[in-house]
Amino acid sequence: MATSARLPQNAPNSLAVKFGPVHITKSFSDIVGLFSKYGDVARLDTTLVSAAGLVVVTFYDVRDAQKAMAEFGAFAEPFASAPQDFRAVSVSTKDFAAAPSGGFQSFGDIAGVSASESDMSVEFYDMRAAQQVISNVPGARPKRSSDLNGAVPACLLAGGTPQAPQARPQPPQTSPEYLSVADAYMQMKNDRIEPVDIPLPTIAEAVARPKAVGKQRPGPAPSQQVEKVPTSNRPIREKVRAQDLLKFDIVPEMILSGEDTRTTVMVRNIAKVMSREGFLEQLEPCNLAESDEDPSEVISASRQDCAMVDAASQEVGENYTEIVFVRHALSLNNMFKESGPRNVWSVVKLNGYQAFDLDGHSKASEKNWKLNSTSKFKSGYAKACHVQQLCGNYSEDNFSSINWELWRNSRDCLLHPEGEESSEQLGRSLLQLVPPDMRIDGFYVSPLRRTLQTLLAVFGDIISHRPQSQVGIQPWAHETYNSESDRANDGDMNAKFLDRYVAHLDAQANRPLPSRAISSLQRGLNKLGKKWVRKYGRAHPKGTGVDAPLSANDTDAEPFYPLSWASTYHESKAQLAQRMIILRRWLKQLPTGGRYVLVAHGGISKALFGRKLDNLGVAVARFHRDADTEDAKTFFSDVWLAREHWSCSKIPGWYK
């Protein structure tokens, strides 16, 4: 524990600081630099900097916030932390006793510990430490600062003596026009009133350091006109003539002549929906599209990369529904296609099927499929079947055979082990990106094995933190048929596979998944039953659950997997378009105003949004309650890539 000083009770990580008119003209990077000298800045809100000189800054470490507040004195006030800014976590006494090696101190400096009947609460100084605990300790959940009364300071645990917090100078109250920083901020931001003229102290008055004694602040340039108000209660106001700002203008003729030697332009206020391709299009008229500068670096530099999103800013609205669409991770068949079929298989297409002749032999020899194979396809199957024990036929607990998979032509193929690792990495990123109070009303998934794996590997922990959210199967979201790897197994078979995969996740990373969610998925798969791919579903879904397959004679029946005239699996463009109408009808059954995750396939993303997502690509789409399910082009009112909408470049995007 790096410090023995006791924090003020419920000390927040956020401050509201009041600036003078001279400094509110500073650039964003200058303001960031001003606060960064106290510590790492998590978030900076400059919404009202031009209107009232108010800046709300959030530090990762509360000790840095305390240092900044001491420096700014009367012109800084504690500001209520956002819901996602938590420094404390609660864990059950059982999980607390089973803490990882090194204890909770291994995540960061501890500010205090408290206990209740069945829970232990650990308060950290740094928000990032608390978020790491949430990501790595099963059962851990955020605890808000208002619940920390009675916590034992870390200094007492270490045998130190707590120090009373020093009294801070009070802001001037003599002026009737004075508003507290927090009150003025909230009044203007909530009411959205026009900018008001509040007396604003200059930063020189607000910051008083012992080192500054004997030094004079540089006076204004001759071109500046200074207006001084001769009263002790009113601060000095400085005004700069507009012509003095002309030096910042860009004059193309001066650049061409060499008089202006500046070579860098900072682009600010880039819209979240601006993609890399869109940014390049904006540069083309300037002949900068082929610049060596990567525009994605410019975009990421202007944002906080993968910072936790503000749940309030993500409200869907009562008339809209939001779908977070996720394509499954890299599958074994994806790796097979990338490796090139001649490396492993001799492929013959026959009546829509792929017949595989393994290495020229009539029977597959599992001993030839090794973990150290130069073929990632072979090594992937070896690990999935022999190490992870995820291959079929699932009738016996310990039976996991490559032969069984290959002789079924890789039907309903599994994730490649690298795809599973990428899924878990994305899950950790989303756990830090998505605040605990961000609303997610349901998680739905295509009934194939690779999508089931992706759902649990990416969203398992997020589902655990939302026990009230619905979890279910959506058979109309199955992949478009191109090979046997796209044809789903029987529902009861994949229900058994789910048992084995959950056990694998638990054994691999001690990640117990909520039994309620797993049971819901298995009920949906068992309801689909045997040979459901040869059966029919309801063209006009009733509710959000899975219906048992219909008889072909039912007037509302549509085939799940259409057949060609030769009785082979084939889905025409018109049939796929009809299936997407059914899928959109199901989407309209979801309660309006909610947010729902759908894990499916690249072919489905292309059919819904017009573009194919990359493996683990995430798109965020919204539709209005009155949207026309028959109109594919106008159904979704907004479609964003999550990497842009949530400002996180770690999330994959469209397939290239």
The two tokens of residue 526 are 């068992």
3-class SS of residue 183: helix
Rg (CA), the chain: 30
**Least confident span in 191-205, 500-514, 585-599:** 191-205
pLDDT reported for residue 545: 87
Helix (H) or strand (E) holding 406: helix 402-406
Q: Is residue 470 part of a domain?
A: yes
What value does the mean pLDDT take over residues 621-625? 96
pLDDT reported for residue 206: 38
3-class SS of residue 473: strand
Q: Is residue 654 part of a domain?
A: no
**Looking at the structure, do residues 340 and 282 belong to the same domain, yes or no?**
no
Q: Cα(336)–Cα(384) distance, rounded to whole angstroms?
A: 14
Residue 182: φ, ψ to 5°: -65, -40
Distance from CA of residue 18 to its chain's centroid? 32
Answer whether residue 447 shows pLDDT above 90. Answer: yes
Closest to 42 measured CA to CA, from 284, 309, 438, 269: 309
pLDDT reported for residue 608: 96
Domain boundary residue among 170, 191, 221?
221
Report how far apart the first and last C-alpha atoms of the chain are (Å, whole number): 48
Q: Is residue 651 part of a domain?
A: no
Closest to 188 measured CA to CA, from 333, 18, 433, 70: 18
**Looking at the structure, do residues 183 and 318 belong to the same domain, yes or no?**
no
**Least confident span in 128-142, 285-299, 393-407:** 285-299
Domain boundary residue among 350, 382, 406?
406
pLDDT reported for residue 21: 52
Helices (H), 226-317: 252-257, 276-283, 295-301
Q: Is residue 282 part of a domain?
A: yes
Answer whether residue 634 shows pLDDT above 50. Answer: yes
Pair 100, 138: CB distance under 8 Å: no
pLDDT reported for residue 63: 92
Q: Cα(321)–Cα(312) distance, rounded to whole angstroms?
A: 16
**Dihedral angle over CA of 419, 421, 422, 423, nearest 10:** 90
- Report the number of distinct structural domains present in the chain: 4
For β-strands 442-445 and 595-600, DSSP reports them as parallel
Answer whether residue 618 shows pLDDT above 70. Answer: yes
Answer whether residue 533 shows pLDDT above 70. Answer: yes
Q: What percent of the chain has pLDDT over 70?
A: 67
Q: Cα(98)–Cα(596) distance, rounded to whole angstroms?
A: 34
Helices (H), 192-235: 203-206
For the domain that residue 578 is a member of, what is the CATH number? Answer: 3.40.50
3-class SS of residue 55: strand
For β-strands 225-227 and 237-239, DSSP reports them as antiparallel
pLDDT reported for residue 287: 59
pLDDT reported for residue 131: 83
* CB crowding 525-543: b at 16 or more within 10 Å, else e: bbbbeeebbebbbbbebee
**Number of Cα atoms under 13 Å in the Cβ half of residue 612:** 10
pLDDT per residue over 374-415, tens digit each?
888 888 999 999 889 999 888 877 688 888 888 888 899 999
Give the model's confidence band at 207: pLDDT under 50 very low, under 70 low, under 90 confident, else very high.
Answer: very low
Closest to 430 measured CA to CA, from 410, 455, 408: 455
pLDDT reported for residue 435: 87
Domain boundary residue among 200, 221, 242?
221
**Looking at the structure, do residues 563 and 424 belong to the same domain, yes or no?**
yes
What value does the mean pLDDT take over residues 523-552? 92
Q: Cα(185)–Cα(37) distance, rounded to whole angstroms?
A: 24
**Looking at the structure, do residues 357 and 480 belong to the same domain, yes or no?**
no
Give the model's confidence band at 305: pLDDT under 50 very low, under 70 low, under 90 confident, else very high.
Answer: low
Which of the given ranges, 212-221, 403-412, 532-541, has the highest pLDDT on average?
Answer: 532-541
Q: What is the residue type of 603?
A: G
Give the model's confidence band at 494: pLDDT under 50 very low, under 70 low, under 90 confident, else very high.
Answer: very high
**Least confident span in 92-101, 360-369, 568-577:** 360-369
**Least confident span in 51-55, 271-275, 331-335:** 271-275
pLDDT reported for residue 284: 66
Q: Is residue 193 part of a domain?
A: yes
**Looking at the structure, do residues 242 and 146 belong to the same domain, yes or no?**
no
Q: Is residue 133 part of a domain?
A: yes
**Dihedral angle over CA of 604, 605, 609, 610, nearest 10:** -80
Give the model's confidence band at 78: pLDDT under 50 very low, under 70 low, under 90 confident, else very high.
Answer: confident
Answer whether residue 39 shows pLDDT above 50. Answer: yes
**Least confident span in 263-267, 331-335, 456-460:** 263-267
**Least confident span in 349-363, 371-385, 621-635:** 349-363
pLDDT reported for residue 46: 73
Q: Cα(171)–Cα(611) distance, rounded to whole angstroms?
A: 56
pLDDT reported for residue 236: 42
Q: Cα(465)–Cα(244) distance, rounded to whole angstroms?
A: 55
Q: Cα(227)–Cα(149) distance, rounded to whole angstroms?
A: 49
Residue 164: other Cβ atoms inside 10 A? 8
**Looking at the structure, do residues 88 and 210 belong to the same domain, yes or no?**
yes
**Looking at the structure, do residues 467 and 352 belong to the same domain, yes or no?**
no
Q: What is the residue type of 20?
A: G
**Looking at the structure, do residues 373 and 265 belong to the same domain, yes or no?**
no
Give the model's confidence band at 292: pLDDT under 50 very low, under 70 low, under 90 confident, else very high.
Answer: very low
**Looking at the structure, do residues 35 and 137 belong to the same domain, yes or no?**
yes
Q: Is residue 105 part of a domain?
A: yes
For the domain that residue 34 is a member of, what is the CATH number? Answer: 3.30.70.330
Q: Cα(343)–Cα(540) distance, rounded to whole angstroms?
A: 45
Give the model's confidence band at 28: pLDDT under 50 very low, under 70 low, under 90 confident, else very high.
Answer: low
3-class SS of residue 13: coil
What value does the mean pLDDT take over residues 512-525? 89
**Looking at the structure, do residues 374 and 474 belong to the same domain, yes or no?**
no
Residue with tokens 């890789």, as numbered in its chain: 410
Q: Cα(58)–Cα(174) distance, rounded to whole angstroms?
A: 29
What value does the mean pLDDT take over residues 244-273? 66
**Looking at the structure, do residues 526 and 581 belong to the same domain, yes or no?**
yes
DSSP-derived secondary structure letter, 550: B
DSSP-derived secondary structure letter, 442: E
Which of the given ranges, 21-30, 39-48, 160-169, has the highest pLDDT on average?
Answer: 39-48
- Mean pLDDT (the chain) is 75
Which of the given ranges, 89-98, 137-146, 348-357, 455-464, has the highest pLDDT on average?
Answer: 455-464
Looking at per-residue pLDDT, the higher value among 507 and 362 belongs to 507
pLDDT reported for residue 395: 81
Answer whether residue 225 shows pLDDT above 50. Answer: no
Q: Is residue 615 part of a domain?
A: yes
Structural domain containing residue 355: 333-406
pLDDT reported for residue 476: 97
The two tokens of residue 219 are 């006076």
10 Å CB burial of residue 105 (0-12, 13-18, 19+) is middle
Answer whether residue 436 shows pLDDT above 90. Answer: no
**Looking at the structure, do residues 216 and 254 belong to the same domain, yes or no?**
no
